[in-house]
Amino acid sequence: MPRFQKTALTLSGLLIAIVAAGCGGAAASPVPSGISDPHTIVSKSLVNLEAATSFHFTGTLDGTLNASALGALMGGGSIGLEGTLKVDGSTMAGDVDMTKGAAKGTATFPRLFGVSAEMVLVDGNTYVRLSTSNKFSKYNAPGPVFAASPSPGASLNFADEIKGVVARLESGGASYVLNGRDTVDGRDVYHIVATVPDSLLNQEISSAGGAAASGLGVTLAPVDYWVYVDTLQPASIRVKVGSATLGNMDLRLILTRYGQPVSIQAPAAGDIAG
């Protein structure tokens, strides 16, 4: 596999694991009339996310990653890069079809040799094409983070995965605080701050990533989570993680366009590498 593809796939898999395991905001502000229980806001937002047919996402990623640690996560092999990988200024955008368990998106990494990537997850397969290639590479879709891996070709149920993650976090000591209101995409939102014990986070990352993920010593800042006031649907999430071994990442995602039609299909056969 080309070195850039290895790097992009490792970054993608790591982000999936950490974001799933995650869910310092601004100073608290007075909470106007409305729902005041953060647990109620979070639970209702997850119910409404499950009921949604689709949504659009945009995001940014900043930070630095250790190339050797990334290679270890891949099973000890070299990813063809050395030293510190800077991902500051990286961006992403795409759509998720909740009914089909499918997603598509693009990402740009201006500090990582200006590489960009296109990914499609549909029908139990993941297709990745980097700007260094004119063909998609095909892989089995990632399995659930906290459950047995599905058989090859099985579609991932996004809603069930998120609910399972949240249930495990809450039973392990995660807590929520309502930090007032804010605005996202010009709309009024509740601002929730979630705290997850580092010991729980590292336990779950080790479980998901195997021996290579053990001992990473990941620390997680309080997770900022915003929910639209008018629809109680997830609006945004910000996750900041650090590891003396791996590096650090600051990821922000914004969710919009709920329920709008999306079309996610596998690439044409001629666009897939043999």
Task: Say how far apart CA 221 and CA 98 lie, in whole Å.
Answer: 29
pLDDT in 10s for each residue of the chain, 274 residues: 544 444 444 444 445 444 444 443 444 455 555 789 999 999 899 889 888 999 999 999 999 988 777 666 554 444 455 678 888 999 999 999 988 889 999 999 998 888 899 999 998 888 989 898 899 998 876 544 333 344 444 555 666 666 666 777 777 778 899 999 999 999 999 999 999 887 777 776 666 555 555 666 778 889 999 999 999 999 999 999 888 888 898 999 999 999 999 999 999 999 999 7
Domain chopping of the chain, boundaries? 3-23+29-255
Residue 74 Cα distances to 9, 37, 57, 133, 213, angstroms: 10, 42, 27, 21, 10
Beta pairing partners, 42: none
CATH number 3.40.47.10 given to 3-23+29-255: no
Q: Which helix or strand (DSSP H or E) is residue 198 part of?
A: helix 198-209
How crowded is residue 188: how many other Cβ atoms within 10 Å of its Cβ? 15
